[in-house]
Amino acid sequence: MLDQHTKEIVKSTIPLLESAGPALTQHFYQRMFTHNPELKDVFNLAHQHTGGQPVALFNAVAAYAKNIDNLEALSSAVERIAHKHTGFLIKPEQYAIVGGHLLASLKELGGDAVTEEVLTAWGKAYGFLADIFINREAQLYQQTAAKKGGWQGTRRFVIKAKQAESSVITSFLLVPEDGMPVVEFIPGQYLSVSINNSQLGNQEIRQYSLSDAPNGCSYRISVKRESNGKVSTLLHDYYQEGDVIDVVAPAGDFALTAANDTPVVLISAGVGLTPMKSMLNQLLSDSHNSQITWVHACEDGQQHAFKACVANQVVENTDLTRFVWYRKPLATDLPAEDYDFEGTIELAKIAQWILPNAHYYFCGPLGFMKVVKQQLLALNVPESQLHYEVFGPHSAL
């Protein structure tokens, strides 16, 4: 455990951290990639360019300093990050590299305010937190590898089928090259795909939500073509049926946990429907004993993935209800058939389906999820019944 003197020194640096802001972590990443370029094969460089990862790391560092007397408040964040790290195959020895550059960045940006005593305290605090992550990640690696069909590291998977789900989303059915079983997952979790391709400057690892219920023999991911997405473009245009890619075992703390007799509402926008589709398929496979409500928002009919599939599931299951919003319907989109509402999502329009005892799972762009959370709270849904996933660096809603 950390001694109280160390905690007090760390807390005393909070004003310094806040004055530096994300510039601190931007400096950290620049420094680390300069001195340890091999880590470019681990970190998602696209998130560096957008600035999302430096902001997320700064928020995590600041939250650690502010809660160093009550680390239990950070337990959910630790679990989420540990899962992310296993998807990137983070190793214990990499924590020492990160810690060294973080302390150096504090000194270089903090100047005289960062004394040797401050560096020593932060060194102890960082080491303590690193040990928590190292131990939890070791547990996750071991637990996954020990399960039937489990493995650690990467495993070669063949693209058995490639299916366009909309104008921007394509599904990839992946089967293990060795023909052996695959470890099951909880709907809501993601698969990490490691891409080594001459068109990329470095190895790139991307995490894509699984979009079907577990079956023990294959996985399905559904990938949106991003306008500047190097990896998503490669997957859409370059990789074909029969090609082989390296895959890391499923992970993630966003997971379907509602009891069988609990109403479930699945809310998504755009490609955020991928974990929702996995959850829906699992609920129907389990003959879920309560109401299921599917709520989806997208641009128009051309971008509406899994439209026919969900419509058929509604016909076949009396406890499943569907509501769809199109922001700008096309002339060919039929109201009451392809979609129910025009514009952006307004849950008050389906207030009778927003049940106080239901659990709500939602995913989509950050702004969308913030609006969804606000609307659900306004409809008197307890915050403890809200569950969401942020694609990319985490941000609180």
The tally of CA atoms less than 13 A away on the side-chain side of residue 65 is 19
Q: How far apart are CA 347 and CA 198, in angstroms?
A: 46
Query: 390 labelled as ligand-binding?
Result: yes
Q: Which residue has the tokens 């219920």?
A: 213
Query: 274 labelled as ligand-binding?
Result: yes
The tally of CA atoms less than 13 A away on the side-chain side of residue 135 is 6
- For 129, 227, 268, the CA distances from 275, given in Å and listed in that order, are 30, 21, 9
- For 259, 281, 284, 309, 317, the CA distances from 313, given in Å and listed in that order, are 21, 9, 9, 6, 6
To 10 degrees, what angle do helices 23-35 and 92-110 make?
120
Query: 120 labelled as ligand-binding?
Result: no
Per the annotation, the verdict on 137 as an active-site residue is yes
Query: 129 labelled as ligand-binding?
Result: no
Q: At residue 357, what are phi and psi to the nearest 5 degrees?
A: -100, 5
- With beta carbons less than 8 A apart as the criterion, state whether 291 and 355 touch: yes
Per the annotation, the verdict on 316 as an active-site residue is no
Query: 392 labelled as ligand-binding?
Result: yes
Query: 207 labelled as ligand-binding?
Result: yes
Catalytic entry in 29, 64, 95, 141: 95
Catalytic entry in 64, 126, 137, 204: 137
Query: 391 labelled as ligand-binding?
Result: yes
Contacts of residue 77, Cβ cutoff 8 Å, sequence gap at least 6: 60, 63, 394
Query: 149 labelled as ligand-binding?
Result: no
Q: Which residue has the tokens 């007799």?
A: 261
Q: How far apart are CA 321 and CA 299, in angstroms?
A: 21
Query: 190 labelled as ligand-binding?
Result: yes
- 306: closest CA among 220, 185, 197, 183? 220
Query: 100 labelled as ligand-binding?
Result: no
- 122: closest CA among 5, 1, 9? 9
Q: Element (H or E) spanning 158, and its range?
A: strand 154-164
Query: 272 labelled as ligand-binding?
Result: yes
Query: 388 labelled as ligand-binding?
Result: no
* Alpha helices, H only, the chain: 4-12, 14-20, 23-35, 45-50, 52-66, 75-87, 92-110, 116-146, 230-237, 273-285, 307-316, 366-378
Query: 248 labelled as ligand-binding?
Result: no
Query: 209 labelled as ligand-binding?
Result: yes
Q: How far apart are CA 124 and CA 97, in angstroms?
A: 15
Residue set of the binding site for NADP(+): 270-275
Binding residues, by number, are 85, 190, 206-209, 270-275, 390-393
Residues marked as binding for FAD?
Answer: 190, 206-209, 390-393
Q: Which residues carry a binding-site annotation for heme b? A: 85
| Residues classed as catalytic | 95, 137
